[in-house]
Amino acid sequence: MRDAAVVLLVFNEIEGLRALWPRLPVGEFREFFAVDPGSTDGSIEFLRERGVPVVPQSIRGRGVAFRVAAEASRAERLIFFSPDGNEDPDDIVRLDDLLLGGADLAIARRFGPGAVNEEDAEFLRLRARVNETFSVLANRLFYRGPRVYDTINGFRALRRQALLELQTTVKRFPIEYQITLRSMQRGWKIAEIPTKEGARIGGERKAASWPVGMDHVKVFATEIQNIRMLRES
Ligand SMILES: Nc1nc2c(ncn2[C@@H]2O[C@H](COP(=O)(O)OP(=O)(O)OP(=O)(O)O)[C@@H](O)[C@H]2O)c(=O)[nH]1
Ligand SMILES: [Mg+2]
């Protein structure tokens, strides 16, 4: 049994949960629970019927969900999984293995050699290009280790104490970017596995591209300020 928790990040994902359930490695982990800000499509009932604890969050947002998970868990390591079809359940164990092998932050990357993202077949690949730009900036300004290809993907794992130590503040989507930038600032070891991003299975996307993109810019700007303050103090 792995001394880790798989955390399902769920907000109205009943179709994804139904489709992926048979593939989730429930028995292999000491903890397996969901964080949910108030789904109304039967996701909560689906999980509870199968014995999966659902931790409620009173304020919406993935950033809040990350912190709620860290407070609720007692496991050594946390693997965050979004059951909407984008992420491959087989990668859950692989991410945990990266931590066991000494990584501080493990990310399933949708870019770089051997990886596939949802937009690879499209002509403009707008979302992918914006993502890649954020990663290039992060590597240039914050990191001296080997290149990190996907600084933004939510499919990732880290030690629970490490997440608490980072004292994240983001409430919504750019939580992952803040975690990566703060890990980079500390010189933590970041390891990636190439992944194949699947298409959304059902339900609705919660991340509207434009506001979420702007939120990433704000996080980037704030973290640059933090670095300046650290250097000057
Ligand atoms: N616990 C929790 N989960 C959330 C919240 N907002 C979104 N999620 C989940 O986070 C995952 C990612 O959200 P998506 O809407 O799929 O965002 P995305 O992956 O950028 O968009 P798509 O490409 O359309 O899938 C999904 O599993 C959502 O259900 C939240 O406030 N709390
Ligand atoms: Mg998604």
Q: What is the CATH number of the domain that holds 223?
A: 3.90.550.10
d(CA 233, CA 217): 25
pTM exceeding 0.85: yes
* Domain that residue 137 falls in: 2-232
What confidence tier does 178 reach under pLDDT thresholds 50, 70, 90?
very high
Query: Would the pLDDT of 14 be above 90?
Result: yes
pLDDT at 205: 86
Mean pLDDT of all residues belonging to the chain: 94
User: What residues contact residue 128 under an 8 Å CB cut-off, 6+ apart?
Assistant: 110, 111, 117, 119, 120
Query: Would the pLDDT of 221 be above 80?
Result: yes
d(CA 88, CA 75): 22
Check if 195 has its Cβ closer than 6 Å to any atom of ligand 1.
no
User: What residues contact residue 72 under an 8 Å CB cut-off, 6+ apart?
Assistant: 33, 35, 55
Check if 213 has its Cβ closer than 6 Å to any atom of ligand 1.
no
How many domains is the chain partitioned into structurally?
1
Q: Which residue has a Cα nearest atom 12 of ligand 1? A: 82
What confidence tier does 219 reach under pLDDT thresholds 50, 70, 90?
very high
Query: Would the pLDDT of 98 be above 80?
Result: yes
Q: How far is CA 129 from the centre of its chain?
A: 19
Check if 10 has its Cβ closer than 6 Å to any atom of ligand 1.
yes
pLDDT at 125: 81
d(CA 151, CA 136): 9
User: How far away, in angstroms, is 45 Cα from ligand 2 center?
Assistant: 21
Instruction: Judge whether 11 and 203 are in contact, CB under 8 Å.
Output: no
User: How far away, in angstroms, is 206 Cα from ligand 1 center?
Assistant: 5
